[in-house]
Amino acid sequence: MRFKHIAILPILLFSISCATFKANTSSGLEERKIQTRVFQGSYDEIYRIVMQTAGNQNWEITHSDKDAGLVQAKTPATLSAWEDEINITMNTIKGGVQVQVKSGLANSTNAENVRKYLDSVTAQLTKE
């Protein structure tokens, strides 16, 4: 009888861990990770401002490919936010250029940093 309980224990632990994993991948988590905006203007102008704004916010550009519409960056760690890996993708669509910013983290502080970044891109575009 004692051996039956021991045999069931790994199955029980596996089931609990699967349930926990599923609970942490809710749609709200993904919504905080990815933010998208569509900007009016030329692709070249928006790419330049996307890069410039990342630099202004002290983001370290780790990779960029203008033709592919991809910018990868690291945000600095602060007292209120973790260091974050950011992927920015740009696509020309009907009506403008879509800029999608994906955070490697989904906590509210890092999501707020992404929102501020997109707000800064918007502000730069309205200045010019």
Residue 66 banded pLDDT, cuts 50, 70, 90: very high
Q: How many helices and strands in the chain, by DSSP H and E?
A: 4, 5
Band of residue 33 on the pLDDT scale cut at 50, 70, 90: confident
Give the pLDDT confidence score for residue 24 in this predicted structure: 41
Residue 36 pairs in a beta bridge with: 100
pLDDT digits (tens, 9 = 90+) for 81-126: 788 899 999 999 998 999 999 998 867 788 888 999 999 999 999 8
Sole residue written with tokens 């009907």:
94
CATH code of the domain covering residue 83: 3.30.530.50
The domain total for the chain is 1
Residue 25: per-residue pLDDT: 43
For 40, the domain range is 32-127
CA separation for the pair 32, 112 (Å, rounded): 9
8 is a domain residue: no
Report if residue 93 sits inside a domain: yes
Dist. CA 99–CA 19, nearest whole Å: 34
What's the Cα-to-Cα distance from 56 to each of 47, 60, 92, rounded to whole Å?
14, 10, 24
